[in-house]
Chains A and B, each alone.
Chain A
Amino acid sequence: MLTKRIIPCLDVKDGRVVKGVKFKAHRDAGDPVELAAFYNREGADELVFYDITASSDRRPIMLEVVKKTADQVFIPLTVGGGLRSVEDMYRMLEAGADKISVNTAAVLNPALISAGARRFGNQCIVLGMDARRVAGAQPLRWEVYTYTGADGGVASGLDAVQWARRAVELGAGEIVVNSIDADGTKAGYDLELLRAIAQNVSVPVVASGGAGQPEDLYQALADGKADAVLAASIFHYGNYTIRETKNYLSARGIAVRL
């Protein structure tokens, strides 16, 4: 049986992992390569590096991080953040990334999805989507936001469910659904948003934003119908290890790789 995936997400800025990481097990808590190796040993099913560097010289730094990670970590690695062209994607894949996550760039230029999928295969192209509930809308609706790194982002006018369907038609092989409302609250994922997307696309859906405890991951997988969960602070701050989280999920009947 295909297992549900637990995916730690590392935000990388200028080649360093941001967000306080409080592990004693490794020497350099800010080194993305070390942290990737640590999570691999801990039983992570995949890893995501999200480059939040604002400066223009980000690419060489991130390529080096990806290369070093791919030299010693042998689980799938997704890289996102600021990749705007098929050439950008190619360089990351060549450095050792397995999948490319596109977000704002895909909203601005949907053809990026189809071009990437044609060249590298659908399995390589992940659509990252930041969505926010439309206040008061009945039935529930969510709007896609771009440039969410700064000042709450920019409303795109796109409906989240419709954008997800369109991205899959264009060739996206997976969709990471990030709830802006839930992100950082540690109060759980937006399960209604997850379900709405999962019921409308044929590709795997990855839940993102809002995890505070293993119970939240369980709900995203069981009730939110997600195929995988992305989590950052729940693991980075050392509150829960990946291993104990997986043991918890397994005890609750979720198939995971132990």
Chain B
Amino acid sequence: MIAIIDYGAGNIRSVSNAIRYLGYRAEITHQADIIRKADAVIFPGVGAAGDTMANLKKLGLDTLIRRLVLEQRPVLGICIGLQVLYSGTEEGGGYACLNIIAGQVKKLPPVLKVPHMGWNQVRQKRTHSLFAGIPDDANFYFVHSYYGQPEDPALILGETEYGVTFGSAIARDNLAAVQFHPEKSGETGLQIYANFFRMAGVRKE
């Protein structure tokens, strides 16, 4: 079973649809016991980083997510679910985040239209199972106004350019996170999920 962490971000349905479409069982939940039992955990996100952190704390999920990562459990962060893994964000006047990945989240420079919305390429910086079968510079669907950059560049799996070059896919041990929305990126996006579940050793239904 795959747990999709529900902290009131909305629009989680498309993530669970994609997982079901691929033949896996997904549970949308904020309950720690269910999340801990899952073979893999999806940490999705849409919306504001400040609200996300507040909701995570309220539900005790901040501690749980840190612990899952420490225990090397398979976790995939998406969009805001990537951004709040960093130390902090300048969104909304500045918030401390989960500090799982050292680095800061900043506003995209105003040289181009913000939000960065649409299909853009991900240049693969190193070989990783998350991108198995996906060509270099494949297009993924992005919607965001902020971007994160890890202090350790070795964590970057893929980079995207939009006024600035940022880490659009990062990974460390069994933790992976992407700024784009795999559940909105057609066949290529579904491949990301399929690769992640294979890495995590999740069995199909």
Residues of chain A touching chain B, judged by Cβ–Cβ distance below 8 Å, are: 1-5, 40, 45, 70-72, 74-76, 93-96, 98, 120-123, 173-174, 202-204, 227-228, 257
Query: Does the CB pair B183–A3 fall under 8 Å?
Result: no
- Report the separation of the CA atoms of residues A178 and B110 in the bound assembly, to the nearest whole angstrom: 27
Known: A70-B17, A121-B48, A204-B113. A2 touches B118 (CB 8 A): yes
Give chain B's interface residue range (CB within 8 Å of chain A).
35 or more
- Report the separation of the CA atoms of residues A134 and B113 in the bound assembly, to the nearest whole angstrom: 29
- Whether B117 is near chain A, meaning CB under 8 Å from some CB there, is yes
Query: Could you mark each residue 107-129 of chain B with 1 if its beta carbon is under 8 Å from any beta carbon of chain A, else 0?
Result: 00010111111111100000000
A-B contact pairs, 28 of them (CB 8 A): A1-B121, A1-B161, A2-B112, A3-B118, A3-B120, A3-B139, A40-B186, A70-B13, A70-B17, A71-B20, A74-B17, A74-B18, A74-B183, A74-B184, A74-B185, A75-B184, A76-B141, A76-B184, A95-B13, A98-B11, A121-B48, A122-B115, A173-B117, A202-B113, A203-B115, A204-B113, A227-B118, A228-B118
- Report the separation of the CA atoms of residues A32 and B91 in the bound assembly, to the nearest whole angstrom: 39
- Whether B29 is near chain A, meaning CB under 8 Å from some CB there, is no
- Whether B10 is near chain A, meaning CB under 8 Å from some CB there, is yes
Known: A2-B162, A74-B190, A76-B184. A204 touches B118 (CB 8 A): yes
Tell me how far the C-beta of B146 lies from the nearest C-beta in chain A, rounded to whole angstroms.
12
- Report the separation of the CA atoms of residues A72 and B186 in the bound assembly, to the nearest whole angstrom: 10
Task: List, in ascending order, chain B residues with CB within 8 A of A121's CB.
Answer: 46-48
Known: A74-B185, A76-B184, A123-B143. A2 touches B119 (CB 8 A): yes
For chain B, residues 144 to 193, give those with C-beta under 8 angstroms from any C-beta of chain A. Answer: 161-162, 183-187, 189-190
Task: List, in ascending order, chain A residues with CB within 8 A of B48's CB.
Answer: 121
Partner of B119, one of A70, A203, A257: A257
6 tightest Cβ-Cβ pairs between the two chains A and B: A257-B139, A257-B119, A123-B143, A3-B119, A2-B120, A76-B184
Query: Does the CB pair A98–B184 fall under 8 Å?
Result: yes
Query: Could you mark each residue 15-47 of chain B with 1 if its beta carbon is under 8 Å from any beta carbon of chain A, else 0?
Result: 001101100000000000000000000000011
Query: Does the CB pair B161–A75 fall under 8 Å?
Result: no
Query: Does the CB pair A94–B10 fall under 8 Å?
Result: yes
Tell me how far the C-beta of A40 lies from the nearest C-beta in chain B, rounded to whole angstroms.
7
- Whether B14 is near chain A, meaning CB under 8 Å from some CB there, is yes
- Report the separation of the CA atoms of residues A94 and B161 in the bound assembly, to the nearest whole angstrom: 31
Query: Does the CB pair A123–B161 fall under 8 Å?
Result: no
- Report the separation of the CA atoms of residues A208 and B183 in the bound assembly, to the nearest whole angstrom: 26
Query: Does the CB pair B117–A123 fall under 8 Å?
Result: yes
Task: List, in ascending order, chain B residues with CB within 8 A of A93's CB.
Answer: 10-11
Partner of A98, one of B14, B142, B187, B190: B14
Query: Does the CB pair B119–A45 fall under 8 Å?
Result: yes
- Report the separation of the CA atoms of residues A71 and B26 in the bound assembly, to the nearest whole angstrom: 14
- Report the separation of the CA atoms of residues A94 and B143 in the bound assembly, to the nearest whole angstrom: 18
Query: Does the CB pair B113–A74 fall under 8 Å?
Result: no
Residue of A2, A75, A122, A204 most packed against chain B (CB within 10 A) = A2
- Report the separation of the CA atoms of residues A219 and B186 in the bound assembly, to the nearest whole angstrom: 27
| B185 nearest in chain A by CB position | A74
- Report the separation of the CA atoms of residues A77 and B110 in the bound assembly, to the nearest whole angstrom: 26
- Report the separation of the CA atoms of residues A45 and B189 in the bound assembly, to the nearest whole angstrom: 13
Query: Does the CB pair A75–B186 fall under 8 Å?
Result: yes
Q: Contacts A2-B116, A74-B190 given; 5 further ones with Cβ under 8 A?
A: A2-B142, A45-B119, A74-B185, A98-B184, A121-B47
Query: Does the CB pair B17–A96 fall under 8 Å?
Result: yes
Tell me how far the C-beta of A76 lies from the nearest C-beta in chain B, rounded to whole angstroms.
5
Task: List, in ascending order, chain A residues with CB within 8 A of B185's CB.
Answer: 74-75
Tell me how far the C-beta of B122 lies from the nearest C-beta in chain A, rounded to whole angstroms.
12
Tell me how far the C-beta of B138 lies from the nearest C-beta in chain A, rounded to whole angstroms.
9
Query: Does the CB pair A45–B115 fall under 8 Å?
Result: no
| B20 nearest in chain A by CB position | A71
| A90 nearest in chain B by CB position | B10
Query: Does the CB pair A72–B139 fall under 8 Å?
Result: no
Task: List, in ascending order, chain B residues with CB within 8 A of A75's CB.
Answer: 141, 184-186
